[in-house]
Structure 1
């Protein structure tokens, strides 16, 4: 016979707690989406409008407006990216160190997997800079990077936003300069009409569960998703160095 008291006293798996929280959140979002489609409403923004990325980030003030074609972080860049390519580009910089930068476009995972595995010399470090893009491609390419035993790196003043942190997470070791900018937000699912909105909830839940499972595989605390889920797609939540440490992107200080 099962001891109910003992069963209830056992702590729940942290991943299960996160998934349950996301489920409740996504159901609420799904209801708002359907209501918005039926009545022509726009989802409300939570809190005041965020300032531009050119404004310094401070603890508790980390949400910034985000337009990839316009916004850049305030930190002094180690290298001016200019106009980033509209899909990922792999460029050798020095020996086995390569740059991987640009938007993450559909099909980039398959294309870059071939380039990375066939590169001579084989990459052992990827320096990242990207405004984000296709989540599915970021997850698929991230698994290739981890399988190949490649490290990831962020340089001072450079940025990794939206889906890019999933590539960053894939490194066997991760080096992030304190002046680099790493940010997360809700993933955008496009314009909704009544029927897509009604069915989108299941896809959103499945997608977020896949993202959290991936982060757990990479040794990242899935609770980082609490910041992503509370930040609209047209804003970005910039993670502070101490948060990057807390969530496992970088090694904790002794």
Structure 2
């Protein structure tokens, strides 16, 4: 009874608050360490220029595309912006040999799937093709856009001069026919799934695994080999692994590869 009399609930709450702040500080510090490069870590210079089998890792950038990564030995199928818009931009162009092309270009942000659905429903004519030019972005939005493309029974493409990397290939997967130009670029790397901040590590890991499971199921449902995820899981987020023709066809992320 003496111990109970001496127990001060306010002190107990104070200790709990201090412990929570300490945990938060550790988690924030771990994020900072992961984002800020260590001055003692040797920087590995990645190759530049077009990829070839066995030489497929390049720097990942979200601000602009890198034309040097794509062979420039012919005309572009349609013009694409070099600097990526801050969120998906939608535009329609008539392209000889391809018909009415709906171009999705820019970073994939929250609510872009709803914006895409509204734009598509407002179109007077159904597009013959959905072309992609994106550095990726929010994974859940990419999955949703890919599903909407499949529901609308549309074809998807990465055409000459265009890039579709990070989460963008999950949109590409939605096409009933998936066309990739050898003068375009499809790339994968590790990406982030939506996670609440300042949660115990065990729950964060559980959320990441759940996100990866949903992504794999998305690919399976759309007829893409989930082995595509290996290129994502084995590539650091600051790099991009560019798929070559054999990998595009073997994983079925492309049903047709064109020059």
TM-score range, shorter chain: 0.7 to 0.9
Report the CA distance between 1:179 and its aligned residue. Answer: 1.2
2:14 equivalent in structure 1: none
TM-score by length of 1: 0.76
- SS of 1:222's equivalent in the other structure is coil
Aligned to 1:56: 50
Is 1:37–1:197's contact at 8 Å kept on the other side of the alignment? no
How far is the alpha carbon of 1:196 from its aligned partner? 4.7
Matched residue, 1:29: none
Question: CA distance change for structure 1 residues 211 and 71 in 2, over 3 Å: closer, same or farther?
Answer: same
Following superposition, the deviation at residue 55 of structure 1 comes to 2.4
- Give the total of aligned pairs: 218
State the distance in 1 between where 2:169 and 2:130 align.
13
| Equivalent residue, structure 1, for 2:87 | 87
Distance 1:197 1:90, change over 3 A: same
Q: Write the distance in 2 (CA, Å) between the matches of 1:230 and 1:210.
A: 18
Highest Rg: 1 or 2? 2
Q: Is the 8 A contact 1:92 1:99 kept in 2?
A: yes
| Contact persistence 1:37–1:193 (CA under 8 A) | no
Please state if 1:112 is matched with 2:123. no
Q: Which moved more, 1:57-66 or 1:75-84?
A: 75-84
Aligned to 1:223: 227
- Decide whether the 8 Å contact of 1:35 with 1:41 is kept in 2: no
Could you tell me how far apart the structure 2 residues matched to 1:151 and 1:84 are? Answer: 23
Alignment pair present for 1:125 and 2:119: no
Aligned mates of 2:168, 2:158 — CA distance in 1: 11
Aligned-residue offset at 1:127 = 1.1
Question: d(CA) in 2 for partners of 1:157 and 1:215?
Answer: 25
Distance in 2, matches of 1:190 and 1:196, equals: 15
Paired with 1:111 and 1:250, the residues of 2 have a C-alpha distance of: 25
Give the SS at the match of 1:237.
strand
Alpha-carbon distance in 1 for matches of 2:256, 2:116 = 31
Of 167, 189, 213, 1:185 maps to 189
| Structure 2: distance between partners of 1:125 and 1:195 | 42
Across the aligned residues of Structure 1 and Structure 2, the Cα RMSD in angstroms comes to: 3.1
State how far apart, in whole Å, the 2-side matches of 1:35 and 1:104 are. 27
Q: TM (normalized to structure 2)?
A: 0.74
Question: Following the alignment from structure 1 to structure 2, what is the Cα–Cα distance between the partners of residues 102 and 174?
Answer: 19
Using CA pairs under 8 Å that are at least 6 residues apart, name the structure with larger relative contact order, 1 or 2: 1
Q: Distance in 1 between matches of 2:65 and 2:27?
A: 32
Against the structure 1 CA distance between its residues 170 and 80, is the aligned structure 2 distance closer, same or farther, given a 3 Å change threshold? closer
Q: Is the 8 A contact 2:89 2:106 kept in 1?
A: yes
Displacement, 1:117? Answer: 2.1
Q: Runs of 4+ in structure 1 displaced over 4 angstroms?
A: 34-38, 40-45, 189-194
